[in-house]
Chains A and B, each alone.
Chain A
Amino acid sequence: MIEVKNIKKIFGDKTIIEDVSAVMKAGQCNLIIGSSGSGKTVLMKCMVGLFEPNAGEVLYHGENFTAMTGKDKTEIRKEIGMLFQGSALFDSQTVEQNVMFPLNMFSKDSYKIKLNRVNEVLERVNLVGANKKFPSELSGGMKKGRTGKSHRP
């Protein structure tokens, strides 16, 4: 469960979001709706700690994420998947290398296990056989399908 309490974010002298609160329960699909430039991305980034909110707090499973030290934040972040507007793929790496990146970084599995995992993920987003393609060769929708990367075991 994720709780957002009275979040406020200011850039310079512009207040982007003010006093936003929400409760997001597990297994539920939650939407954040707003016009372009209204601060949806800013709110998301405050929730995952890419921005430090000026006021308010974010709680994961009742634990105060905003007040955590860098190391504890990292642990929580490993549980988060975030999809970015611009896909955020490494454009110098193939699809396979992109998907495998977090596995290479955090798991000690053999290449074969990792490759199986990558193929599983690619299958789920209908990108079977695109392993050796570069991001520039994929269409926009295809890219987003797999930016969630292969993080969860």
Chain B
Amino acid sequence: MTIFNDIGRYLLMIKGMFSRPENARMYWKEFIHQCTEIGFGSLGIVAIISVFIGAVSTVQTAYQLVSPLIPPSTIAQIVRDTVILEFAPTLVCIVLAGVAGSRIASELGNMRVSEQIDALEIMGINTKTYLILPKIIAALLMIPLLVAIAMALGIWGGRLAGVASGIIPGSVYDKGLLEFFVPFNVIFALIKAYVFAFIISSIPAFYGDYVKGGALEIGKASTKAVVVSCILILFADYILSALLLPTA
């Protein structure tokens, strides 16, 4: 059963990450480097999709709310809640699995194939701790931050579209944003962001670290890493929603 084999090796990789750094300063440098790569490297695409997601949400919500009994400020409430609960964390993380995840897998895969990882091991460096741990911690710090930015930009994009297309005046939208606001939704979204961040960093690291062969295999590993990460994100999204959201 290769799946159990894979899960076992994945858990061994996680366990192998926790060892004493040989030199804290070098590890810190690597961590900062990864923060810039993951954070700033994906900021542009995250900003663009969040604004558009918010804009589309406003237009589509307006299109579906046809009853004159419903006040227009409801549109703002619905946009706010869908962006915070689902679009900002889940959609952004799916995109990040593609952007940051494939980068992590191909970086490690390339280092494995060109024997850079072997060279580090020979020097007596624990490569799981030096190469993988900083990526995961950087993701856990930067991805929830990106998700928070996505929330704000999504809601702003919704306002932009509402005003531009004459669906809802800015002042009404702003008023709607403050109605029936549930702070727990933001906490829930951030919990999701942390879980997704762990998936987006550890799964591609696993596939990258175990690459065997050459350039073709690096490509395959990074595709597989993205596919598996996306499936796990959606699966985790469902489990977390079922567990944490009070329904009925």
Contact = CB atoms under 8 A, between A and B. Distances in A.
B119 A105 contact: no
A77 B113 CA distance: 21
Contacts of B26: 104-105
B116 A89 contact: yes
A38 interface: no
A86 B123 contact: no
A113 to B, nearest CB: 16
Interface residues on A, range: 20 to 34
A86 to B, nearest CB: 5
B13 to A, nearest CB: 15
A86 B122 contact: no
Given A85-B115, A88-B118, A104 B23 contact: yes
Nearest to A90: B116
A90 B26 CA distance: 15
B119 A82 contact: yes
B118 A50 contact: yes
Nearest to B119: A88
Q: Which of B111, B116, B119 has the most CB of A within 10 A?
A: B119
A106 B119 contact: no
Interface of A: 45, 48, 50, 73-75, 77-78, 80-82, 84-91, 102, 104-106, 147, 149, 151
23 contacts: A50-B118, A77-B123, A77-B124, A80-B122, A82-B122, A84-B115, A84-B118, A85-B115, A86-B114, A86-B115, A87-B115, A88-B118, A88-B119, A90-B111, A91-B110, A104-B25, A104-B26, A105-B22, A105-B123, A106-B23, A106-B123, A106-B124, A151-B123
